[in-house]
């Protein structure tokens, strides 16, 4: 009997924890009906172009967990703070074209007078539990307060290391518009963003921005999810075209045929942000 009580208490604790706002919200209603019409949504979830197993061949969840908890790895943390240079983004010449890399997949792009912010994570950790998955010292120099007004916030997918609850909530007054994949808008809606400020798209769509600016949504090979349910929202890459430049924003992706297809259709690019092996 005591064991059942303990199990019930643990289950209740987990359930209540998962109700926290930071987990966002699953798509429902009209948003879900739109998702169901996507050619990339099958069997109740979004799919990659080609089959992508959860684990590499010959690997089991047991071996993954055993290595995670009991394996010993050397040099998992830098011996000292990573070298960095902090730029005062509030004092930038608005006509200057500049890219600032904040670490991992977070970028500030100022091009032809417009400001773009990609996958910002400024909390110092990328996890639902504080003090886990911590940023390396030196890679967390910026905060939401350091950001100027943002014309377009671009979110590739809803994983914790790309969509940070604390960051996007603090940025809300500074963000004019959000561009992301189908389903991810449900998180923004729960967090207080007006639906009119959020554009959700499927792969292979075009978004007209200011004159001379546009974004084409392109595929990736990855997955999504902030809680137990996976792949309820789409993962994206983007082609950003400005009056003077063309950039590819890769998000998270493993290798597949889409890279060549995107290059053939939209290339050449002036600048490419490309992850390495994010299956």
Distance CA 95, CA 92 (A): 8
Radius of gyration of the chain (CA): 20
Instruction: State if pTM tops 0.75.
Output: yes
Nearest to 33 by CA among 241, 267, 261, 200: 200
User: Which pair of structure tokens corresponds to residue 24?
Assistant: 């966002």
- The domain at 89-273 falls in which architecture? 4-Layer Sandwich (3.60)
Query: Which residue is it, tokens 């798209």?
Result: 201
In this predicted model, what pLDDT tens digit does every residue of 177-215 receive, in sequence order? 999 999 999 999 999 999 999 999 999 999 999 999 999
Per-residue pLDDT of the chain (279 residues; tens, 9 = 90+): 788 888 888 888 888 888 999 999 999 999 999 999 999 999 999 999 999 988 777 778 778 777 777 777 776 788 899 999 999 999 999 999 999 999 999 999 999 999 999 999 999 999 999 988 899 999 999 999 999 999 999 999 999 999 999 999 999 999 999 999 999 999 999 999 999 999 999 999 999 999 999 999 999 999 999 999 999 999 999 999 999 999 999 999 999 999 999 999 999 999 999 987 888
Provide the residue ranges of all domains of the chain, joining segments of one domain with +. 89-273
Do 137 and 82 form a contact (C-beta atoms < 8 A)?
Answer: yes
Residues facing residue 208 across a β-bridge:
214
Q: Buried (b) or exposed (e) across 69-104, using 16+ Cβ within 10 A?
A: eeeeeeeeeeeeeeeeeeeebeeeeeeeeeebebbb
């Amino acid at each position: 009997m005591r064991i059942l009580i303990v199990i019930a208490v643990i289950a209740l604790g987990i359930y209540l924890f998962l109700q926290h706002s930071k987990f966002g919200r699953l798509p429902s209603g009209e948003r879900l009906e739109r998702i169901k019409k996507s050619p990339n949504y099958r069997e109740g979830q979004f799919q990659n172009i080609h089959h992508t197993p959860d684990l590499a061949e010959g690997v089991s969840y047991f071996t993954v967990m055993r290595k995670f908890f009991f394996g010993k790895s050397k040099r998992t943390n830098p011996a000292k703070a990573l070298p960095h240079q902090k730029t005062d983004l509030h004092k930038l010449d608005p006509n200057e074209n500049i890219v600032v890399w904040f670490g991992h997949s977070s970028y500030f792009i100022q091009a032809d007078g417009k400001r773009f912010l990609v996958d910002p994570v400024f909390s110092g950790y990328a996890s639902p539990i504080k003090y886990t998955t911590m940023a390396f010292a030196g890679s967390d120099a910026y905060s939401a307060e350091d950001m100027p007004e943002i014309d377009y916030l671009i979110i590739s997918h809803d994983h914790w290391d790309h969509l940070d609850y604390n960051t996007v909530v603090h940025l809300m007054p500074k963000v004019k518009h959000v561009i992301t994949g189908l389903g991810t808008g449900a998180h923004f809606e729960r967090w207080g963003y007006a639906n009119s400020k959020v554009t959700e798209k499927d792969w292979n769509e075009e978004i007209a921005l200011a004159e001379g600016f546009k974004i084409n949504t392109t595929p990736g090979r990855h997955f999504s999810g902030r809680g137990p349910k996976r792949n309820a929202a789409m993962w994206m890459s983007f082609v950003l075209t400005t009056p003077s430049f063309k950039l590819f924003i890769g998000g998270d992706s493993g290798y597949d045929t889409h890279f060549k297809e995107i290059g053939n259709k939209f290339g050449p690019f002036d600048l490419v942000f490309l992850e390495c092996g994010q299956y």
